[in-house]
Amino acid sequence: MSPCEKLIDLPQAEWGGAASSGVAARASAGIEAGQVLFLPELSFACEPREAALFTPAILGSAKNASFDPATGRLGGTNASGDDAELLRALMRRFSDAAAALVNTLLPDYRETIARGRASFRPAEIAGRASSWRKDDTRLHVDSFPATPTGGRRILRVFTNVNPNGKPRAWRVGGDFESVARRFANTLSIPLPGSGHVLALLRVTKSPRSAYDALMLQLHDRMKGDEDFQRGSPQAAIDFPAGSTWLAFTDEVSHAALAGQYQLEQTFLVPVAAMQCPDRSPLRVLERLKGQRLA
């Protein structure tokens, strides 16, 4: 597989700048087709005083710091006092910039999109000890164990803010339907009512739908299958420092192999907002399983 098959280069150089109708159309068609939108000229400017935050030491035992734009709450960091406020301001600024970018590039989602958490990843990926299930260097699609999406799409904006010019190294896999077909017979529909039980036990923040259960299983099957990891179609892609990219990470098989210092913002998009809802993982899995899943 060639990286060109998975990437669409877009000439966007401003987070809130207007995009032409042609660029927006290419962005919408590409991202819904399972491609990665690559913005090589779009960098996120960090302030000189924020250099103090560029160290894995702010994480403690976590693998990334998180920020909830709805509440302003920080998580995953041991930063305190002025450093915590500096980190909060950095992540709020990025979260707002990412929201402006999505509204510009993907205007069809503007009315129904929900902004999730932002994260800052100052630790080097390569060589990090992890269980296979949590090992993001293995090809996978995203699914949230504790916060079910109910079928909504997971859209993420990434930007490489590495101050030393090092790229973010990814592998990107084949199309979602091919991956889902490969593992479909190993995915089990959960027992009726089990999702509500998980919510009552506070294992999840809301009832887990059958779709969410299948996506969690798919995530694990992909990561645990050595033949899939080695032999499935995939392309290596380096995202340079100072670049930005977007993808539906519930659809795009991806693995992060190396890199340090990345900002990331998550959004949730209803399937009904898509131009081609039949391409969504929800609709693909419903076709494969022959029943409604959310």
Q: Indicate the domain borders of the chain.
A: 3-289
Give the Cα separation of 79 and 90 in Å (integer): 13
Exposed, middle or buried, 193 (CB in 10 Å: 0-12/13-18/19+)? exposed
Residue 123 identity = A
Tokens 């958490």 — which residue?
117
Give the Cα separation of 157 and 212 in Å (integer): 22
Do the Cβ atoms of 139 and 274 come closer than 8 Å?
Answer: no
Q: Which residues contact 288 (CB under 8 A, 6 or more apart)?
A: 180, 181, 184
User: Nearest CA to 294 among 266, 272, 265?
Assistant: 272
- The whole-angstrom distance between residue 210's C-alpha and the CA centroid of its chain comes to 21
- The verdict on domain 3-289 having CATH code 1.10.1060 is no
- The whole-angstrom distance between residue 148's C-alpha and the CA centroid of its chain comes to 14
Supply the pLDDT for residue 3. 66
Tokens 């920020």 — which residue?
67
Supply the pLDDT for residue 16. 84
The token pair at 287 is: 């076709």
Each residue's pLDDT, cut to its tens digit, for the chain (294 residues) gives: 666 689 999 998 899 878 777 889 999 999 999 999 999 999 999 999 999 999 999 998 888 999 999 999 999 999 999 999 999 999 999 999 999 999 999 999 999 999 999 999 999 999 887 788 889 999 999 999 999 999 999 999 999 999 999 999 999 999 999 999 999 999 999 999 999 999 999 999 999 999 999 999 999 999 999 999 999 999 999 999 999 999 999 999 999 999 999 999 999 999 999 999 999 999 999 999 999 999
CA dihedral of residues 157, 152, 138, 7 (deg, nearest 10): -50
Give the Cα separation of 29 and 138 in Å (integer): 27
Task: Give the CB-side neighbour count of residue 249, counting CA atoms within 13 A.
Answer: 25
Supply the pLDDT for residue 281. 98
The token pair at 132 is: 């296979």
Supply the pLDDT for residue 167. 98
pTM of the predicted structure, to 2 decimals? 0.95
User: Nearest CA to 265 among 98, 63, 37, 129?
Assistant: 98
Supply the pLDDT for residue 1. 67
Distances (CA, A) of 59 to 72, 84, 129, 234, 261: 18, 11, 15, 31, 12
| Burial annotation 218-230 (CB, 10 A radius, 16+ → b, else e) | bbbbbbebeebbe
3-class secondary structure, 146: coil
